[in-house]
Amino acid sequence: RLLELGVIVRPIGNYALPDYLRVSIGLESQNQKFLSAMKQILGEEA
């Protein structure tokens, strides 16, 4: 779902954490895009 909103994520199954996301800190604008996407997704699930 994040990819549909323009946020690229990568699997981290090799860390034995298949249900988690690893988020890297980027530029402020990139972080805002990620946070907005997460709020949208979580709001839809609530």
Along the chain (46 residues), what's the average pLDDT of each consecutive run of 10 residues? 89 83 88 94 80
Residue 39 sits at φ, ψ, to 5 deg, of -60, -40
> How far apart are alpha carbons 16 and 38 in whole angstroms?
23
Segment (H or E) for 41? helix 28-45
Q: Count of residues for the chain?
A: 46
pLDDT at 46: 54
> How far apart are alpha carbons 19 and 23 in whole angstroms?
13
